[in-house]
A = this chain, B = another copy of it.
Amino acid sequence: MPRPVVALAGGVGAARFLEGLVQVVPPEEITAIVNTGDDRDFFGLRVCPDLDIVTYTLAGIVNRETGWGFRDDSFHCIDALGRLRDDTWFALGDRDLATHIQRSARLREGATLSRVTAEIAEAFGVAVELLPMTEELAPTRVVRRDGSVADFEEYLVRDGAPADVREVDLSAAARAAPAPGLLEALEAAETLLICPSNPVVSIGTILAIPGVRARLEARRSAVAISPIIGGRPVKGPADRLLPSLGVEVSALGVAELYRTLASGIVIDRADAALAPEIEALGLAVRIEDTLMRDSKIAANLAAAALALAGTRA
C-alpha cells in the first residue's frame, strides 16, 4: 500500500534527515527510495552503502562519527582478508559484514533486492519502508580527466575522490527498471521530499531511473533540502562532482538542478542571501538550520520541509 510521505534518499545526509522525519511523521507512513548507484560486489558480497547507512541510522546502531557502519565495530575479517587479496580498501566491519553476507546469500537464493532490504530492515526494527531505486546492479561510474573510469566507491574511497572528474556516468541507472512499486509510490504520495543528499550521485541517480524524473516533473510538488551549506557540501564529494555538470556548488546550484520537479527548497541560514535568486527560479524557499548536529535539529528540519510542502505543520 503506498505510503503518504515519499523521500528520495542517498546516504548519511538522508539518513540523518529521515531520523528527524520519523519524529514528526509515523515511520509507517514513510517510504524512502534509496540510491543504489554506489552498490558493488566486494569479494562476492553485495554491498549497498546507502541502504545500509539509512538502515543502521534508523535502527540507532550506526557509527555516528563516520556516518556509516556499526557503532564500535571491529575490522578483524577485512584485516585478515588483506593477507589473501589486495583489494581490501573498502572498510567493512565485522558486524556490518553480516548484512552483506545475508543479502548476498538471499540474492543468490533468488530473492529480489527489495525483498532482502525489507527483511533486513525488519530484523533491525526499521519501520520506514526502504525501497531500492532498482532491483538491478546499476553502478554509477566516474570518468576522470585522464579517461579512466571507476565505480563510484572506487572513485570515492579507493582513489580518495580527486577533483579531476570529467563526467558522472549514470547510464546504468538510465537503463535500469524501477523497483516494483516505485513509480506508484511517487504517484500516490501526498508529500514528496528530496533529502539533503548529493544531487548528482545520490538523487541524480534515482532521477535517472526511467520514469522517476517524469513522475516528479508531472507533479512539480517535491520539497528539497539543500545538502550544500555556504558553498560546501556537509559531507562527500559534491564539490568535485557538481562542476562536472556545469552546476554551481551552492544552494542556488542545487535549486537550479531541481527547479523542474520541486516546488520548494529548504536552505541553510548561511545561504539566506541566495533566497531571492532561488525564488526567481519559481521555488518557494524556507531558511532553517540545516546542519543536523543532533536529532532535534533534524526533526525541526523535517517539520520545516513538511510545512513547506504544505501538508503538515
Q: Which residues of A contact B (CB under 8 A)?
A: 43-45, 70, 73-74, 76-81, 83-85, 93-99, 101-102, 104-105, 108, 119-120, 123-124
Contacts and interface: CB of A to CB of B under 8 A. Distances in A.
B102 A77 contact: no
Contact of A44 (B93, B95, B96, B105): B105
A84 B97 contact: no
A44 B77 contact: no
A48 to B, nearest CB: 14
Contacts of A119: 84
Contacts of A97: 77, 80, 97
Nearest to A94: B76
Given A74-B74, A76-B76, A44 B104 contact: yes
A120 B85 CA distance: 10
Copies of this chain in the oligomer: 2
B80 A43 contact: no
Contact of A83 (B78, B80, B98): B98
A45 B101 contact: yes
Nearest to A104: B44
Contact of A81 (B44, B45, B83, B98): B98
A80 B98 contact: yes
Nearest to A44: B105
Contacts of A93: 76
A142 B82 CA distance: 37
A80 B56 CA distance: 13
A218 B74 CA distance: 53
A98 B123 contact: no
Residue from A81, A93, A119 having most chain B Cβ neighbours under 10 A = A81
A124 B81 CA distance: 11
B77 A43 contact: no
Residue from A78, A95, A119, A123 having most chain B Cβ neighbours under 10 A = A95
Nearest to A78: B98
A108 B44 contact: yes
A108 B44 CA distance: 8
Contact of A76 (B45, B73, B104): B73
29 contacts: A43-B101, A43-B102, A43-B104, A44-B44, A44-B104, A44-B105, A73-B76, A74-B74, A74-B94, A76-B93, A76-B95, A77-B94, A77-B95, A77-B97, A79-B98, A80-B94, A80-B96, A80-B97, A80-B98, A80-B99, A81-B102, A83-B123, A83-B124, A84-B99, A84-B119, A84-B123, A85-B102, A85-B105, A97-B97
Contacts of A45: 101
A191 to B, nearest CB: 32
Nearest to A85: B102
